[in-house]
């Protein structure tokens, strides 16, 4: 008998069947959502004649840890990390929008990439300590050693890191146009770190109309 009902509930980012129903292109994607994000309320609302809107609008986060699907915050890139593919090469302006970076990662070998950074970046961001304690970071005292840890060509990664350091120091990303203000670290302070990442479902944006 109420004049209005307010329904406060979460999305359905962990209901992969529902995600696929509304956005088939996301079939097989991992999710960053907790297991309770199943979208039950949408079924309840539709059963009593309510309607939904824009359920197909689902945001993807580009850097989910590749094995355990832990969200690697964008601040890691914002504080200076770069993305390299399995061949040890950069392939995108790391500070582009989530959809652009996600598409770029998915187009690489294996649909994944590595975030690579140095001790300076690690010390700049408290969340990196969490990742370190979770055991998801590979680390080495040299770039060549880091390449060995992630089964990558040491020559390719060394060349990429040296080039990026030079461009950072010159304040100009000649390869992908990353803004000088976003190239905050030269990435030349050992030890070095890497974490494998792939895009994952971040959150659903539609809801009850």
The structure tokens listed for 124 are 């700049």
Contact 157, 90 (CB under 8 A): no
Task: State the Cα angle at 198 between 193 and 203, rounded to 5°.
Answer: 120
What residues are annotated to the active site?
A: 98
Query: Does residue 12 sit in helix, strand or coil?
Result: coil
**Residues 99 and 174: beta-carbon distance below 8 Å:** no
Nearest Cα to Cα of residue 92 among 75, 69, 108, 70: 108
- Both tokens of residue 137? 């970071």
Cβ-Cβ contacts under 8 Å for 97 (sequence gap 6 or more): none
Element (H, E) at 16: helix 16-22
Residue 193 β-bridge partners: 117, 139
With 0-12 / 13-18 / 19 or more C-beta atoms within 10 angstroms meaning exposed / middle / buried, residue 157 is buried
């Amino acid at each position: 008998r109420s004049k209005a009902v307010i329904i406060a509930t979460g999305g359905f980012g962990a209901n992969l069947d529902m995600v696929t129903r509304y956005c088939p292109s996301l079939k097989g994607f991992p999710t960053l959502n907790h297991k309770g994000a199943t979208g039950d309320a949408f079924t309840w609302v539709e059963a009593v004649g309510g309607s939904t809107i824009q359920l197909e609008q689902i945001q993807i986060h580009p850097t989910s840890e590749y094995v355990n699907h832990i969200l690697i915050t964008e601040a890691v890139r914002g504080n200076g990390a770069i993305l390299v593919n399995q061949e040890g090469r950069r392939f995108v302006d790391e500070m582009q929008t989530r959809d652009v970076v996600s598409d770029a990662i998915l187009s690489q070998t294996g649909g994944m990439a590595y975030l690579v950074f140095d001790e300076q970046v690690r010390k700049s961001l408290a969340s990196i300590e969490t990742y370190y304690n979770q055991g998801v970071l590979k680390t080495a005292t040299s770039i060549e050693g880091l390449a060995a840890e992630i089964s990558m060509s040491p020559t390719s990664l060394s060349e990429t890191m040296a080039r990026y350091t030079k461009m950072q120091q010159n304040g100009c990303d000649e390869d992908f146009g990353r803004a000088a203000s976003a190239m905050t670290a030269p990435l030349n302070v050992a030890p070095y770190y890497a974490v494998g990442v792939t895009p994952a479902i971040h959150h659903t944006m539609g809801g009850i109309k």
